[in-house]
Amino acid sequence: MSMIKARSTLGLSAFALSLFAACAATGPGPVGEDDGGTSGPGSSSSSGGSSSSGVGSSSSGPSSSSSGSSSSSGTKGPSDGGSSQTDATTSSDATMSADAGKGTGTSTGGADATVDARVTEAGSAARDAAGDARPDGGTSTTTGSKDGCSSGPISTFAGALATGITFTDTSGMPVNAHGGGIIEEAGVFYLHGEFFLSTTTNNDFNGFSMYSSTDLATWKNEGIILPQQPSGELGPVRKGERPHIIKCPSTGEFVLYAHAASEDYQTDKEVVYATSPTVNGQYAFQGSLTNSSGLIAAHSDMSAYADSTGAYVLTESGDVYTLASDCHSWLTDQTFDAVNGDSGGSESPTVFKAGSTYYWIGSYKTGWRANNNFYSTAPAVTGPWTYQGFVAPVTDPTNNISDQRTWLTQSTWVVPITGCGGTTYMYWGDHWYGNQDTTAPGVHNYLATYVFQPLIFTGTKIGLPTYFASWNLDVGEGTWSQ
């Protein structure tokens, strides 16, 4: 049986039994990518419904409307002049109401042979398991210009709630980069993340991988950009997670930040960094991120963000580290408890700006599991931050089998796609393998899939009120439709 068929069968059985095979509600399980903190209410999740793994593709023609989980249409971003059409019908909490559908946002706001063998090994194993049932992505061409606005490429993202999307790269191998980010440089999007082996289940650091795309659906394998080091923070038998790349505003150098830790995630944990003159080059490991006194940033999950105001590292504890002009050290550390909501921290944090508002999305501390992600807003990265509530609908926060758990994801990144017609802010959440098998969450992370969804804006509020099983992105226009 192919892996896709096996996973689809699990989804069907779970739905029929009304269990949805959720992440375990009791017991810590593998700690995975958190710092051992307590989880918030309703800290595990599950999927419902049935379907096979999805696919991202792109085309040159006008985007055709396809059936998703609900009917929908346009909504504006915070300050864009896009048009609004019919509302989507969906459940949402009291703090979130939004139109869904064709949306526009605002724009203001090379590996060595050993490493290559690792990439091929994991990709081949997953592909062999999937057989011919796994589609191979799509192709990309640019459409014509209309009224001075260049449309296309137009990408279609399709994946059932129960499975997420399995992307394959241009060589036919499954994309294997999770818990990271997407940086755009010269019209190319570079997805980077944790690379997981299929031959181990301990999630030790094996390298950070990268893929490139001009349409966010067709991905080229750029290889492992930072391999396991001979020793030290990212050496053997160590954890290395949450890689995020920024372009240093003052120097133009590309800097990758990540967190490194001991096997138990507690004995030793810190933010580390690596540098490269090119976005897709080999990153040279530089060691721990410290201040001028040598004090490390002792944290687990973290993210990084840069804009004209400076460069920052943000952590699961609500800390904001303002970086030095060369982005190689930190100057100040501020803590904002508000971003943690009612949880013990803000795991898998991601920060982005839309209009004049900054957004901080985080999740409960549940390890390799989906949960109810929440967000906060601020007028500046350095605060003050104000908690706003959940990102996706939550009918009952104590329901550990709900498929509303941020549509079975854990937040990873939000990437703005700015075109001549506006900006779409696309949420990337990791659909960790194990949502349908509570016995081993995080054990088979090389089989994790992707959830790409357009964020919906209502004023300065954001949300994912509806899960779109299929939707279209016009990269040239910066707009989306269902």
Would you state the pLDDT for residue 443? Answer: 85
Q: Rounded CA gap, 456 and 458, in Å?
A: 7
Q: Flag whether pLDDT at 391 surpasses 60.
A: yes
Would you state the pLDDT for residue 78? Answer: 58
User: For residues 227 and 111, is the Cβ–Cβ distance under 8 A?
Assistant: yes
SS (H, E, C) 106-166: CCCCCCCHHHHHHHHHHHHHHHHHHHHHCCCCCECCCCCEECCEECCCEEEEECCCCCCEC
* Predicted TM-score of the model (pTM): 0.77
Would you state the pLDDT for residue 360? Answer: 98
**Tokens standing for residue 190:** 């570079």
Of 22 and 450, which is predicted with more confidence?
Answer: 450
Q: Flag whether pLDDT at 109 surpasses 90.
A: no
**Range among 127-131, 137-141, 166-170, 200-204 with highest mean pLDDT value:** 166-170
Would you state the pLDDT for residue 344? Answer: 84
**DSSP strand pairing (461-463 vs 357-363):** unpaired
Ranges 175-179, 247-251, 433-437: which has the least confidence:
433-437
For residue 305, what is the enclosing H or E element?
strand 302-307
For residue 111, give the nearest of 191, 227, 253 by alpha carbon. Answer: 227
Give the confidence band of 114 by pLDDT, cuts at 50, 70, 90.
very low
Ranges 31-45, 267-281, 366-380: which has the least confidence:
31-45
Would you state the pLDDT for residue 434? Answer: 76
What are the residues facing 55 on neighbouring strands? 158
Give the confidence band of 108 by pLDDT, cuts at 50, 70, 90.
very low
In this prediction, residues 314-319 reach a mean pLDDT of 96
Ranges 4-18, 141-155, 218-232, 424-438: which has the least confidence:
4-18
Would you state the pLDDT for residue 319? Answer: 97
Would you state the pLDDT for residue 435? Answer: 67
**Tokens standing for residue 133:** 């049932």
User: For residues 100 and 440, is the Cβ–Cβ distance under 8 A?
Assistant: no
For residue 7, what is the enclosing H or E element?
helix 3-17
User: For residues 134 and 168, is the Cβ–Cβ distance under 8 A?
Assistant: yes
Mean pLDDT of the chain: 77
Percent of the chain at pLDDT > 70 equals 68
In this prediction, residues 421-442 reach a mean pLDDT of 84
Of 113 and 401, which is predicted with more confidence?
Answer: 401
| 453 DSSP assignment | E
Give the confidence band of 440 by pLDDT, cuts at 50, 70, 90.
low
Would you state the pLDDT for residue 412? Answer: 96
User: For residues 339 and 323, is the Cβ–Cβ distance under 8 A?
Assistant: no
In this prediction, residues 333-354 reach a mean pLDDT of 95
Would you state the pLDDT for residue 398? Answer: 77
Give the confidence band of 144 by pLDDT, cuts at 50, 70, 90.
low
**DSSP strand pairing (103-104 vs 75-76):** parallel
Would you state the pLDDT for residue 27? Answer: 35
Would you state the pLDDT for residue 259? Answer: 97
In this prediction, residues 91-104 reach a mean pLDDT of 35
Asked whether the bond before 153 is cis by omega within 30 degrees of 0, the reply is yes
Give the confidence band of 437 by pLDDT, cuts at 50, 70, 90.
low
Q: Flag whether pLDDT at 9 surpasses 90.
A: no
Collapsed DSSP state (helix, strand, coil) of residue 10: helix
Of 76 and 472, which is predicted with more confidence?
Answer: 472
In this prediction, residues 195-216 reach a mean pLDDT of 96
In this prediction, residues 246-272 reach a mean pLDDT of 96
Q: Rounded CA gap, 209 and 455, in Å?
A: 26
Q: Rounded CA gap, 242 and 229, in Å?
A: 17
In this prediction, residues 30-55 reach a mean pLDDT of 39
Would you state the pLDDT for residue 74? Answer: 39
Of 123 and 269, which is predicted with more confidence?
Answer: 269
Would you state the pLDDT for residue 94? Answer: 31
